[in-house]
Amino acid sequence: MLELYEKTAIELGELLRTRQVASVEVTRSMLARIEATEEKLHSFVTVTPELALEMAAEADRRISAGTAGPLTGIPIAIKDNMCVKGLRASCASRILANFVAPYDATVVRRIRDAGMVILGTTNMDEFAMGSSTETSYWGPTRNPWHLDMIPGGSSGGSAASVAAGQAVVSLGSDTGGSIRLPASFCSVTGIKPTYGSVSRYGLVAYASSLDQIGPIARDATDLALMLNLLCGHDPMDSTSVPMEHPDFTSFLGKPIKGMTLGLPREFYSHLDDPDVSRVMADARKVFEGLGVSFVELSLPHLDYGIAAYYIIAPSEASSNLARYDGVKYGHRAENFDGMIDMYCRTRAEGFGAEVKRRIMLGTYALSSGYYDAYYLKAAKIRTLITEDFKSAFQTCDAILCPVAPTPPFKIGEKIDDPIQMYLTDVFTIPVNMAGLPGMSIPGGFSSTGLPVGLQLIAPHFAESRLVQLASAFQAETDHHLKRPPL
Amino acid sequence: MEYEAVIGLEVHAQLLTDSKAFCSCTTRFGAEPNSNTCPICQGMPGTLPVLNRKALEYTVRMALACNCTINEISRFARKNYYYPDLPKNYQISQYELPVAEHGWVEIETAEGVRRIGLTRIHMEEDAGKLIHDEDRPVSYVDLNRTGVPLIEIVSEPEIRTPEEAAEYLRALRAILVYLDVCDGNMQEGSFRCDANVSVRPVGQKSLGVKTEVKNMNSFRNVQRALQYEIDRQTEALRNGEPIVQETRLFDPTTGTTASMRSKEQAHDYRYFPDPDLLPLRVDPELVERIGRDLPELPSEKKRRFVEQFGIPPYDAAVLTASRELAAYFERTLELFPKPKAVSNWIMTELMRQLKGEEAGLASCAVKPEQLADLLKLIDAGTISGKIAKAVFEEMCSTGGDPAEIINRKGLVQISDSEALTELVRKVLDDNRGEVEKYLAGKDKLFGFFVGQVMKASKGKANPQLVNDLLVQELRARSRF
């Protein structure tokens, strides 16, 4: 018999609505699990037991009153870069270490409206800049499958908490792979929706044209429930797309026979890890068994993806992070001599090395005389990559590729080698550049038992197709059912 | 060698929208510091801007009135610089693709009407205000003004003299105020101006090195600052000294400009397209609708007043300075169709009254209907012009009807020649000495007799009749 914290949202929802269990019990189970495992994992920046139990009690009242929705009473963890009114939103940075959000992000409002239970905020790379959750001011999160390993990043805490049964589902944000990479490294299911599908209002910006909020869950079913909740137009976000989204749960269990998956040559030519190659080959067999055909294709500008990303994202970041200056909120240096010195000391003390590196990169790229050579050129590459995907989708319904070139690596292994760290995102970054939806699903394990994820990429606003493919794949496999030995 | 100045002006005009450019906070002036703010205009983490459609409409209205081309697609850009009154440390503005370009406005110059080209009009958000503590080295930030919509109107470097610059600013302000898109208040900063000035030998095509002059908060100061700067640069060139490209601040107490920062110290604003705002598409139908609804502009109205009513261009300029005043004139004229008489009364008596009144025309007790009534009474000879002025003052302070005031105060003009003849005779009898001198040839004394009769009648005598009767009576006395 599974403990409550091991169950999925769809299972818990059934138990809650049939009154076999109360949300307060479920929440207590999660809080106990956090209590038991958090010292090892460090998935959270802030755990909010009182708020959670209060929300759970309210959820139970709604269930009794018959006004509950499918996610009412389900505990969720939220990445520390989203605003929950009254809670700290530190972005895992010293500069916002004492910042309490004065308003709710649109996704948080939706979570409250749905009657979900907020457990706390999850650890991340500082300002979502990183692939390992090691740049957090609060210290790294550990991979639940192997405590010496990184959980992936930047939404490492969100993925680790779901993998470890600390949360049923969680919210992450993905600018260059920050949902998909940790989902892959922690063997959970995560999706970065199409840019514009989920409101960014209340998500502390890293790179505004690339950032997108998405859910992390144990399987495609829970992910579909979360997409139903999160997707939709928000008048507070000008880049939010005014369109009707389908009921994503209606794509669960739908056959995928006759679909075509594309295999981009450029992705596979980068692969030299035997575990990842084996997992990809196994996945192909599963899909073929489900009646899916495969087509090789080319995305010729993919190789420029990382270079262009590391112009665009830092450029936007250099401007987005300018507001952290010690004037209005957050950290302010104690000793300073005049205004400029206050700015300099505050920011020198408040930001970590990786954030500073990206601010400097972006400031340089946007400076007078360099703009055309860097930012403008990167923007053109971005257009070319988008065009590449567009023509690729002429011949396939979705693309299948790895999430990362390797399984999870050791804590400390790449933290001093930014280029190696950046290359972790070689398969995920192009998806953000093109604004496409991309999903990470558990694909198996390495010879040493470390998770390896699969990435599925669909055309704009075809999240439903990803749900359909993932659901079909998970019906045939049990990778997503395995739990880490904590 | 003769030198000429080349001046280009950048005008910032605050738009009269109810709410801010990118959030729903009120734009009301004079509230408690930081009370008109929200997480968005406070620059809180995670907030996003959403454009106020009214601000766009106002911008398009001004752009069309200035004969600009509206760009169907324009872009918001971030202008990055650190300052405590700018909570995001970037200003949302427009850079490469402004809303409107290639316009012009007409100005009056000594050589007649001239067109000054507009390079562009773009939208941006205002910054907040710093309040410096007088006793301690502390500054306070008030973000009430942060995010108030502005338009920046950039002229071509086609202005040649400080007078033209002032004339250009007056023309721009008149249009803005006519369109109800800006209140044009320079003191409160809702209409601000920076100038780019250079000097070159007459006949030279290429431009000289320019300086940017800031801190001019009245038309007069714009003229003073520009004149100083032109003289300074001309003097330097005459002495063979180079002009340094820099930003200079005008000091209104000394009437001089002083260097604020050099080109090397100039900000690198690192403009780039704002990823939080999609490219701005201006619907051509919206442009057409706004164009259709544009009111008659000051220059058109002025031209029409001269042509239609035959009043002097000077009168027309004064009367069209505001839309309300022009409407007042036209309404009065409908009731009393003597343009020059109406114009004279508005330009002298009415405007004198308005000068003392903060609220201006809107709160003036004398409406066009009453003014027309008064003018009719003068025209009919019921009262003299002089009495009318007193009546008008009374009307302004009490809001009364002219006929009623005249009756109540017994101000009806004496046009009864028998009564007046008696008065004239009495004055002449009482001033025999002066009469003798007059008859002996001292003609100037005629005015004295008129004055005495008017005084004796308490100003009510019909002046024309007094004249006639005096001539008649004096002639009669010369025969004896």
pLDDT tens-digit series, residues A67-113: 999 999 999 999 999 999 999 999 999 999 999 999 999 999 999 99
Contacts of A181 (CB under 8 A, 6+ apart): A131, A152, A153, A403, A404, A424, A425, A428, A440
- pLDDT at residue B151 is higher than 70: yes
pLDDT interval class at B357 (50, 70, 90): low
Distance CA B451, CA B445 (A): 10
pLDDT for the residue numbered B386: 78
Residue A382 distance to chain B (closest CA, Å): 14
What are the extents of the domains in chain B? 3-288, 296-409, 417-477
Of A41, A33, A38, A47, the C-alpha closest to A4 is: A33
DSSP string, B390-418: HHHHHHHHH---HHHHHHHTT---B--HH
- pLDDT at residue B356 is higher than 80: no
Token pair belonging to A362: 């972006």
Distance CA A80, CA A204 (A): 9
Contacts of A48 (CB under 8 A, 6+ apart): A87, A118, A119, A120
- pLDDT at residue B359 is higher than 70: no
DSSP B100: E
Peptide bond before residue A154 is cis, with ω within 30 degrees of 0? yes
Backbone angles phi, psi at B201, to 5 degrees: -60, 140
- Note whether B13 and A172 are within 8 A (CB): no
Distance CA B153, CA B67 (A): 13
Distance CA A185, CA A159 (A): 8
Q: Which residue has the tokens 């390993």?
A: A149
- Among the partner-chain residues A236, A238, A325, the one whose CB lies closest to the CB of B278 is A238
- Among the partner-chain residues A237, A322, A368, the one whose CB lies closest to the CB of B48 is A237
> In B, which residues are within 8 Å of A339 by CB distance?
84
Interface touch A322/B50, C-beta < 8 Å = no
- Note whether A88 and A121 are within 8 A (CB): yes
Residue B88 distance to chain A (closest CA, Å): 4
Interface touch A89/B78, C-beta < 8 Å = no
Interface touch B87/A323, C-beta < 8 Å = yes
Of A476, A457, A453, A439, the C-alpha closest to A224 is: A439
A82, A351, A366: best mutation site toward chain B, by most B Cβ within 10 Å? Answer: A366
Whether A124 and chain B come into contact, CB under 8 Å, resolves to no
Residue A202 distance to chain B (closest CA, Å): 4
For A4-259+396-481, which CATH class? alpha beta
Distance CA A358, CA B445 (A): 94
Residue A346 distance to chain B (closest CA, Å): 13
DSSP string, A231-253: BS--TT-TTS---PPP-GGGGTT
Interface touch B46/A89, C-beta < 8 Å = yes
For chain A, give me the number of helices (H) and strands (E)? 16, 11
Percent of chain B with pLDDT over 90: 52
B303-340 confidence digits (pLDDT tens): 999 999 988 888 898 888 888 889 999 999 999 888 98
Total beta-carbon pairs less than 8 A apart between chain A and chain B: 100
pLDDT for the residue numbered B188: 84
A82: nearest CA partner in chain B:
B46
- pLDDT at residue B358 is higher than 60: no
Strand partners, B212: B196, B247
Q: Is the dihedral of CA A129, A134, A135, A136 positive or negative?
A: positive
Q: Inter-axis angle of helices A9-17 and A49-65, to 10 degrees? A: 50
Distance CA A459, CA A478 (A): 27
What are the extents of the domains in chain A? 4-259+396-481
> In A, which residues are within 8 Å of B87 by CB distance?
323, 327-328
Distance CA A272, CA B348 (A): 92
> In A, which residues are within 8 Å of B277 by CB distance?
238-239
A78, A99, A201: best mutation site toward chain B, by most B Cβ within 10 Å? Answer: A201
| pTM of the complete model | 0.89
pLDDT interval class at A439 (50, 70, 90): very high
CATH of domain B417-477: 1.10.10.410
Q: Mean pLDDT over all residues of chain B? A: 89
A247-258 confidence digits (pLDDT tens): 999 999 999 999
* E-strand stretches of A128-206: 169-174, 189-192
> In A, which residues are within 8 Å of B84 by CB distance?
325, 327, 339
pLDDT interval class at B37 (50, 70, 90): very high
- Note whether B183 and B28 are within 8 A (CB): no
Interface touch B278/A200, C-beta < 8 Å = no
Pairing outcome for strands A398-402 and A293-297: unpaired
C-alpha A452: how far from chain center? 16
Name the B residues in 79-98 with CB < 8 Å from any A CB: 80, 82, 84, 87-90
DSSP A388: H
Token pair belonging to B308: 């239609």
Strand partners, A440: A190, A455
What letters, b where the CB count within 10 A reaches 16 and e where it falls short, cover B9-19? bbbbbbbbbeb
C-alpha B302: how far from chain center? 14
pLDDT for the residue numbered B38: 97
pLDDT for the residue numbered B480: 57
Q: Which residue has the tokens 């619907």?
A: B283
- Note whether A301 and A384 are within 8 A (CB): yes
ipTM of predicted assembly, 2 dp? 0.96
Q: Which residues of A are catalytic?
A: 79, 154, 178
Interface touch B276/A319, C-beta < 8 Å = no
- pLDDT at residue B263 is higher than 80: no
Pairing outcome for strands A189-192 and A169-174: unpaired
Q: Which is higher by pLDDT, B216 or A114? A: A114
